[in-house]
Chains A and B, each alone.
Chain A
Amino acid sequence: MSMQAADTAPAPAAPARTGGAGRERLRLLLRSGTFLAGAAIVAFWVACALFGSDVVPQDPYAVDLMSKLQAPSPDHWFGTDRLGRDIFARVIVGARDILTIAPLATVLGTVLGTTLGLIMGYFRGFIDEAISRLIEAVLALPLVIVALLALVALGTSYITVILVIGLIFTPLIARTVRSAVLTERGLDYVAAARLRGENPFYIMFIEILPNVVPPILVESTVRLGYAIFTVATLSFIGFGIQPPSADWGLAISDSYGLINGGYWWTVLFDALAIASLVVGVNLVADGVQGVFET
């Protein structure tokens, strides 16, 4: 058992070094095994989403009831679903919708959350208190349930799914940004800026924002993983991506009633695809976190 103190090694040398913090972090990131593994997985699925439909041997949307529910074979590597569509082709192109919706929702949540967090952390007081209560109320509900409620009320479409997930992420990201801003606000450079007569927006966006980019970056990569998780789950319960998309969650929702009949291939490959994508994104997030939080 190791009972050793933390890294108390002397601080890096003071004299000027070439290259900024950013380049140093990138170098560390490229040396992190988890990051590289995750990035490779994500890159693979992004490539599939972009170019998959051009390279797959069969049309992923072609219904062929004559050859429905066929087990994997040289003709259909992953078998066929109950409409006779080629599962291999569908798995390859199945990332397209989720890889559009989830990142857009994350970007929306990050932009709104960052703005909100900066305002809360900088002004504090009543604004902060009021928004905090609201955030706490939203957070008292599981993500999937809030999304479900909102989508039932608004109706499901790509836009509503993006909006709903983006808006649910807003308070989560705002909370992270807020606590980072609170720390920064206590630092003397903020006082120095006020003593120069800078206005609050200059201080928030030019002085503080660059210093809270690392936690925002970490939080939004983590959020991207959750966005994929949530979109997949919503699609599975019928409130996310709609047919005839080849989306994986949708495919599992469509076929999981069949598994007791032994048609395991109708769900297994889609399940593995989702798992690999979320794990990939989260390995990237873990790598980013490791580099930025030390």
Chain B
Amino acid sequence: MTPTAPWQGEMASAPDALSIRDLDVAYRVRGKVRQVLRGLSFQVGRGESYGLVGESGCGKSTVALAIVRYLARNGRVRAGRILLDGRDLLALGEADLRKLRATAVSMVYQDPGRALNPSLRVGAQVAEVFRLQGMPQAEALDRAAAMLARVQIADPSSVMGRYPHQLSGGMQQRVAIAMALAINPKLLILDEPTTGLDATVEAEVLDLIARLRGEFATSILFISHNLAVIARMCDRVGVLYAGLLVEEGGTRELFDNPRHPYTVGLLRCLPRRGRRKDHGRLDTIPGLLPPPGADIAGCVFAERCAHADEYCRAVEPPLYDLGGRASRCHYHERAPDLPRATPSDPAAPIAVDREERPVLRTQRLAKTFAAGGHAVHALSAISLELWSGETLGLVGESGSGKTTLARLLLGLIEADGGSVIELDGGQLPAAIDRRTPDQVKALQIVFQNPDSALNRSHTVRHLIGRALAKLARVPAPQQLERLLAFTRAVRLADRYLAVRPRQLSGGLKQRVAIARAFAGEPRIVVCDEPTSALDVSVQAAILNLLADLQATRRVSYVFISHDLGTVRYISDRIAVLYLGRLMELGPAEQVFRGPHHPYTEALLSAVPSLDGSVTERIRLKGDIPSAIRPPSGCVFHTRCPRKLGSICEDQEPPLIEAEAGHAIRCHIQARDLQRERPAPMPAEAPAS
């Protein structure tokens, strides 16, 4: 990577790849003008990779769409200039704009499956770019194939003849990147390019982008909500809050030593490497993002800032130039000393006694779905134990079966015959309809998406009250009292009781869902990605709440997440799933420390870290195989960087204890797994 002068000012001889000056963008929503970007200015130097980071609603995608002049019909640039390679984009006519799009700027965005035309072959879509430059069809197709090869698609000619839906998400995104780079653009805009991809695939795509950046002399504007991805990919970063650039600077400087209270708060919200619930609560950012279009006199962040005083609320801070970096805070020099919004003192840790009988136990738990005449083994022979008061983290990528496992435990879907689920030593019927009321109330869930989990027609009072009535059998007279006790326990203000879910923010909705799950005093709560639909600043508060509730109520959690930092923070033990098989099970610290299953090792090294410390990268080949036809032997052998040989293809390895309480499903001996670190994968890993 080529480090660039961090603050390229007006004096630079060649024009910046992108220069945005005082950009104001507003949307008209139901006759009202809502300003989304306010006086936004930043530059992306030649060859530079600039990251724009912010939570949902901060306007970051609007920036991208404004640059390519593709704002929604109701959006309008009200003021400001956008200079691309020195040319004023907003002044271009239709024909010039088209020429610019065809030659100088391109964009890759989230959800590649929808970005490609479903009824055109991949080859034709890529070749189109070359046809536009006047190339004859045959030459354009050749160039397209060459371009696909450059994004590490192993068999370009076969991929060219396929339709987008025949490719995996990772492959689709490579095709999208190939199309974007085909014109060798001055500026490449990447808007959440890996959001929605699995961790190991994301790591591969990020590697690819980093490598191609060296090959093409392209400047990059990288937009993401994920601080760690930005830290890994960018030279400089701008932090966007409520349509304003609140802080800007070199990536390392900014993340190591933030100078705006918002950045400080954001970084503190993340469970950093190795941090666990008994080390203390996560810090939070109180309050909410101001509504779009709100008229704010002083600093936009004042409402949520512990440093804020009368001056902040009265006078809008300018973007203070701090020499190579900038902060929109009057008290930028004091920003790092921001007092905590949430005290750090940890909830009293629970002593989990594993000599006791486990509260939940599964044996040979399996689920086979019938799909189009095929038997899909979503889950095979899972044997687990969960003790009172502990958290079992479930980790795995798509198709791993973690959500299936959760639904089997709850009885929402029925396990295959021969599966055993025991609650407190007693056999639990597979289907919820056959469980006793006490069994039903013992197992509850907090879903990922509160919009889906809360009935939008019901008020908060009804949502929680009904659960109290049905599960806790609270008689009507005492209901309100109990209801208030619960809403207070999840820190939900009383005034929200009369409100319906759509009038609540994401974090508040999730609190309602948590209150409902706890209404019947459950023994076990399944948390199915409870924070992944939420913004970083809200996630931390929800994790704290879950940890507190566990400490006070001695409930056990089955905690599903794809975010390893979160799992590590909250879990006592961790189970790693791959294609419906349990690959590794053990105490959280040991699973993270090693020895690891090769798959766990790859997962761990796929996660970009905020401190930018590049660990040894283990990259997996290709995509996750289909559960319809899982690989023979060890299901991981098709992607395993440490495959031994034919034994891996023929025999499924048993789950062997590597150390007390820590089991790994691998033919390689535990001590070898620990000792022998494989060499990094060669970059040209052939795709499937």
Q: A interface vs B, CB < 8 Å?
A: 2, 4-17, 20-21, 187-189, 191-198, 207, 210-211
Contact = CB atoms under 8 A, between A and B. Distances in A.
A191 B407 CA distance: 9
Lowest 5 CB-CB distances: which A-B pairs, in order?
A: A13-B291, A210-B457, A9-B27, A14-B505, A188-B453
Contact of A189 (B432, B455, B499): B455
Interface string B436-458: 01001101110101001111111
A189 B73 CA distance: 34
A14 B455 CA distance: 17
Contacts of A4: 70-73
A192 B458 CA distance: 13
Contacts of B36: 9-10
B432 A195 contact: yes
Contacts of A9: 27-29, 34, 36, 72, 74-75
A140 B633 CA distance: 52
B27 A10 contact: yes
B34 A10 contact: yes
B412 A195 contact: yes
Contact of B455 (A2, A16, A21, A207): A207
Given A7-B73, A195-B410, A195-B412, A14 B452 contact: no
A188 B432 CA distance: 15
Contacts of B29: 9, 12
A14 B407 CA distance: 30
Contacts of A20: 500
A210 B27 CA distance: 32
Interface of B: 27-29, 34, 36, 57, 59, 61, 65, 70-75, 288-289, 291-292, 294, 407, 410, 412, 432, 437, 440-441, 443-445, 447, 449, 452-458, 466-467, 470-471, 495-496, 499-500, 502-506, 516, 520
16 contacts: A2-B73, A8-B72, A9-B36, A13-B291, A16-B495, A16-B504, A17-B503, A20-B500, A21-B502, A189-B453, A192-B447, A195-B444, A195-B445, A197-B440, A197-B471, A211-B456
A211 B457 contact: yes
A10 B449 contact: no
Given A16-B499, A198-B470, 9 more contacts: A4-B71, A5-B71, A9-B28, A9-B34, A9-B36, A187-B452, A192-B445, A192-B453, A197-B470
A9 B26 CA distance: 9
A191 B526 CA distance: 13
B452 A7 contact: no
A64 to B, nearest CB: 57
Given A189-B455, A195-B440, A14 B288 contact: yes
Contacts, number: 107
A11 B70 CA distance: 18
B292 A10 contact: yes
B137 to A, nearest CB: 25
Contact of B57 (A7, A10, A21, A193): A10
A2 B71 CA distance: 11
A14 B294 CA distance: 12
B225 to A, nearest CB: 14
A188 B447 contact: yes
A26 B362 CA distance: 52
Contact of B452 (A11, A12, A189): A189
Nearest to A11: B57
Contacts of B437: 197
Contacts of A16: 495-496, 499, 503-504
Contact of B412 (A13, A189, A194, A211): A194
Nearest to B519: A196
A188 B506 contact: no
A15 B505 CA distance: 6
B498 to A, nearest CB: 9
A1 B499 CA distance: 43
B504 A14 contact: yes
Contacts of B34: 9-10
A20 B498 CA distance: 11
Contact of A5 (B70, B291, B441, B467): B70
Nearest to A8: B72
A287 B572 CA distance: 56
B467 to A, nearest CB: 6
B453 A196 contact: no
A137 B57 CA distance: 49
A10 B75 CA distance: 10
A188 B452 CA distance: 5
- Interface centre among A12, A14, A17, by most B CB within 10 Å? A14
A191 B467 CA distance: 13
B451 to A, nearest CB: 8
B455 A13 contact: no
Contacts of A5: 65, 70-73
Contact of B288 (A15, A187, A198, A207): A15
B467 A196 contact: yes
Nearest to A184: B455
Contacts of A15: 288, 291, 503, 505
Contacts of B407: 191
Given A2-B73, A189-B455, A196 B471 contact: yes
Contact of B74 (A2, A7, A21): A7
A14 B505 CA distance: 5
- Interface centre among A6, A10, A198, by most B CB within 10 Å? A10
A21 B506 CA distance: 18
